[in-house]
Amino acid sequence: MAGRAMNAERKIRVLIVDDSAFMRKVIGDILGADPSIDVVGRARNGREAMDAINGLSPDVVTLDIEMPGKSGLEVLRDIMAIKPIPVVMVSSLTKQGANETMQALDSGAVDFVTKPSGTISLDMDKVGDELRQKVIAASKASLRTSRLHIGLATKILPPPPIQSRREAMPRRLEMLVIAASTGGPMALQEVIPELSADFPLPVLIVQHMPPGFTSSFASRLNERSKLTVLEACDGMPIRKGAVIIAPGGYHLIVEKKQMNLVCRLTETPPVRSVRPSADVLFTSVSEVVGGNILTLVLTGMGRDGLDGTRLLRQKGAYVIAESKETSVIYGMPGAVTGAGLVDEVLPLYSIAAGLERVSKQN
C-alpha cells in the first residue's frame, strides 16, 4: 500500500537544457511552481544534456532550439538515437525558428513552446501555463519509433479489421475534416502525403499551433504531398485537390458563397483554450454542409473536436479516430471514441488507406 501511494505521488522529473543561465533559472522557476513537477537538473549544452539524461533519468526534457555549438536539433537527434524520452522544444518566434521547430517535431519532439520575445525572454511567464501543461502532457506521451519504422509498418503489417458500426456510408461525401494537436504534425506527415493525387474530397485541417508556425508546416507538408497543401486565408475557395490548414491564431470556418464553399477566418475567443479550434470548424461544417462529411480525429491533448464531432455524427458524418497504439497523446481520439461517436478506429499507418477507401465508396 505504501509503495503504491508513493508511486502515485511521484513527481515528473524534468531536465532543462538552455545555454542561457538566465533562461534555465526562469524556466526552472516556472516549472517548479507546479507541485507535480520536479526540476532535477539543468544543462547548458549537448554534452551536459546527455550526461544528465544518463545520470538523472528525467521523464521529460525541455530543450532550447537555438544553442551555440551543437544545436538543439542535433541534441534532440542524439537523444532520440541514444535514449529516447519525451522532449518539449523551446523555440523563438521567427521564420527560422518555425522551420527548425518543424524539423524538431519531425525528429521526434513531442511538442514546443515559443519564447515570447527572443532568445532571452524576460516575459517567459506569458507562456508559463502552456509550458507546464505541455511538460505534464509530454510525461504521458507514448513515443513512437521513427518515421521510417512507421512507414515500414505499412508494408509488413496486415491491415487491421474494419470496425465500422454502420453498413452504409453517407450517400455523397463532400469534404474531409481533420483535428490534431500534440503529435499531430508527425501524424499528418504520415497521412497527407499518402493520399493519392485523385483523392476526391477537399481537406480542411485544424492543427493546434501558434501564429507563424502553420505557414511553415503547410509548406513542409506541401513538399511531400501529391495534393496541394496551403495555409488558409480569408475567402480561399474550398476545392478538390487542396488541403487547407487553419492558420495559428485564427478560427477557420466554412461559408457558402453563391454555390461555392469558401474559407473564413475569425478572431473570436479561443474555445477550450485553443484558436484555431476543431470544434469551431466542425460546428461550422455541420451547419453549412451537413452530414456528408468524412471526419478524422488524430493524436492530441485535451478534448477539442468532441463537441463538433458529435454534431457532425448526429447528421450522419462518417468518423475515423486514430488508435491508442499509435497516438502520442490519446486525449482527442480517446474522447470521441469513448463517447461512441466513431465508426472506425485505425492505427496511424492504416489511416490514409482508410480515408481512400471510405471516400471512394460513394
Domain endpoint, select from 139, 172, 198: 139
CATH number (domain holding residue 35): 3.40.50.2300
Same domain for 106 and 16: yes
HEC string of 41-56 equals EEECCHHHHHHHHHHH
| pLDDT at residue 100 greater than cutoff 60 | yes
Report the candidate in 32, 14, 16 with the shortest Cα–Cα distance to residue 24. Answer: 16
Instruction: Judge if 184 and 300 occupy the same domain.
Output: yes
User: Does the annotation count 181 as an active-site position?
Assistant: yes
Report which of residues 98 and 223 the model is more confident about. Answer: 223
- Residue 124 and residue 235 in one domain: no
User: Three-class SS of residue 138?
Assistant: helix
Kindly state whether residues 117 and 218 are assigned to the same domain: no
Q: What is the pLDDT of residues 116-141, one digit of tens each?
A: 766 666 678 888 999 999 999 999 99
Q: Give 309-335 pLDDT, tens digit per residue.
A: 999 999 999 999 999 999 999 999 999
Active site residue 251: no
Are 112 and 250 found together in one domain?
no
Candidate list 208, 286, 343, 359, residue with the active-site label: 208
3-class DSSP assignment, residue 256 = strand
Under 8 Å between Cβ of 191 and 355: yes
* Residue 97 clears pLDDT 70, i.e. is over it: yes
Cell of 95: 521564420
Fill in the DSSP letter of residue 250. Answer: S
CATH number of the domain where residue 327 is located: 3.40.50.180
Same domain, 173 and 302: yes
pLDDT surpassing 80 at residue 87: yes
- 107, 181, 284, 359: the catalytic one is 181
pLDDT in tens, 285-316: 999 999 999 999 999 999 999 999 999 999 99
Last residue of a domain, one of 109, 139, 169: 139
Q: Domain range for residue 114?
A: 2-139
Query: For the chain, first and last CA: distance in Å?
Result: 57
Residues 166 and 244 in one domain: yes
On whether the CB atoms of residues 348 and 191 are closer than 8 A, the answer is: yes
165: confidence class by pLDDT, cuts 50, 70, 90: low
Tell me: do 118 and 154 sit in the same domain: no
Asked whether 230 and 244 are in contact (CB, 8 A), the reply is: yes
Helix or strand holding residue 115 (H, E): strand 111-115
**The three-state (H, E, C) secondary structure of 174-234, written as one string:** CEEEEEECCCHHHHHHHHHHHCCCCCCCCEEEEECCCCCCHHHHHHHHHHHCCCEEEECCC
The model's pLDDT over 245-260, given as tens digits with 9 standing for 90+, comes to: 999 999 999 999 988 9
Number of domains making up the chain: 2
Considering the domain architecture, whether residues 203 and 317 belong to the same structural domain is answered as yes
Q: Is the peptide bond between 202 and the residue preceding it cis, with omega within 30 degrees of 0? A: no
Residues 176 and 296 in one domain: yes
Asked whether the beta carbons of 205 and 244 are under 8 A apart, the reply is yes
Q: What pLDDT does 156 receive?
A: 42
Residues whose CB is less than 8 angstroms from the CB of residue 343 and which lie 6 or more positions away in sequence, other chains included: 163, 164, 165, 166, 318, 319, 320
Active-site residue, from 34, 304, 307, 343: 304
Q: What H or E segment, with its residue span, contains residue 39? A: strand 37-43
Q: Which of 139, 174, 207 is the last residue of a domain?
A: 139
Taking all residues of the chain, what is their mean pLDDT, rounded to a whole number? 89
Residue 267 sits in the same domain as residue 353:
yes
259 and 125 in a common domain: no
| pTM (predicted TM-score) | 0.89
